[in-house]
Chain A
Amino acid sequence: MDDETRVRINSDQDIVVARQKGRSLAVALGFSSGDATLLATAISELARNIVSYAKTGDIVLKIIHGSANSGIQIVARDNGPGIPDVQQALRDGFSTSGSLGLGLPGVMRLVDEFHIASVESQGTTVSIKKWKH
């Protein structure tokens, strides 16, 4: 059995499921309560982007092992409209408090590693990693 959990994202209820699975995994791996909250919040935002912009997609949670410590990788993937200008979407101010924007700069601050690939009309994949400190 691989240490991988896949959560289908189809509705707002799945957002809650995904972030709760993320928190459980983080706690099981020995993350501090604070770091588990940061990871759960990041998952919530990524799942929300899927529901808002692509309608459906999935989130894969996986335990990863580095040279010094272990961590969790989250991959959020959808086949939605894609992001026309990724650089713009990653700039602060284009996002956060308002109703528009993807909140991606905020998500970047919650995790240790962040990677995004998006192709217009094909979809978006966001991969994040948080290491146990």
Chain B
Amino acid sequence: MEVPILKQGDFLIATIQAALTDEDLLHLRTALVQHVVRSRSRGVIVDVTSLDVMDSFASRTLRDLAHMIRLRGAETVIVGIQPEVAFAMVQLGLRLEDVATALDLEEGLAYLNQKFKSSA
């Protein structure tokens, strides 16, 4: 299951549309990092609205993805974590640590715009 990556100005938007296997998640991580390099993006949004389960592997992979992209000097925002998924993640003891999250795509874009406006 390939995750489409859209380029919008300085940002990349990856929208997960179905359940992903571990391999799909690792592929997404690699593809996004490469895309950030290729298109010199400053921000990345990963939309997980349609993910109905975020287990330890998915959390770790998204966290790693954000850290790798930060090493490239770009910022990642995870958007759309469903309330039930958030509840399960906390019960399970999973954390995204210092990775930014936002309610939805719109809020994620606002976050990135704000971030780059203030640093410009």
Which A residues lie at the B interface, using CB under 8 A? Answer: 12-13, 15-16, 19-20, 23, 33-34, 36-38, 40-41, 44-45, 48, 92, 95-97, 99, 103, 105-107, 109-110
B92 touches A37 (CB 8 A): no
A103 touches B92 (CB 8 A): yes
* A111 shortest CB reach to chain B, Å: 10
* A101 shortest CB reach to chain B, Å: 9
- The residues in B between 52 and 87 inclusive whose CB is less than 8 angstroms from any CB of A are 52-57, 59-60, 82-85, 87
A48 touches B53 (CB 8 A): no
Kindly state the separation between the CA atoms of A107 and B56 in the bound complex, as whole angstroms.
11
Given A12-B22, A37-B87, residue A99 in contact with residue B60 (CB < 8 A) = yes
Given A12-B22, A16-B19, A97-B95, residue A41 in contact with residue B53 (CB < 8 A) = yes
Interface bin, chain B: 20 to 34
With beta carbons under 8 angstroms apart, the residue of A19, A33, A97, A99 that contacts B94 is A97
Given A40-B53, A48-B56, A99-B60, residue A106 in contact with residue B91 (CB < 8 A) = yes
Whether, in the assembled complex, B21 has its beta carbon less than 8 Å from a beta carbon of chain A, the answer is yes
With beta carbons under 8 angstroms apart, the residue of A33, A34, A45 that contacts B56 is A45
Kindly state the separation between the CA atoms of A25 and B62 in the bound complex, as whole angstroms.
28
**Interfacial chain B residues near A38, Cβ < 8 Å:** 84, 87-88, 91
Kindly state the separation between the CA atoms of A126 and B57 in the bound complex, as whole angstroms.
19
Considering the complex, give the chain A residue whose CB is closest to the CB of B97.
Answer: A97
- The residues in B between 84 and 105 inclusive whose CB is less than 8 angstroms from any CB of A are 84-85, 87-89, 91-95, 97
Given A12-B21, A15-B22, A37-B88, residue A96 in contact with residue B93 (CB < 8 A) = yes
A33 touches B23 (CB 8 A): no
Kindly state the separation between the CA atoms of A94 and B68 in the bound complex, as whole angstroms.
26
A41 touches B55 (CB 8 A): yes
Kindly state the separation between the CA atoms of A82 and B99 in the bound complex, as whole angstroms.
35
* B36 shortest CB reach to chain A, Å: 24
Considering the complex, give the chain B residue whose CB is closest to the CB of A95.
Answer: B93
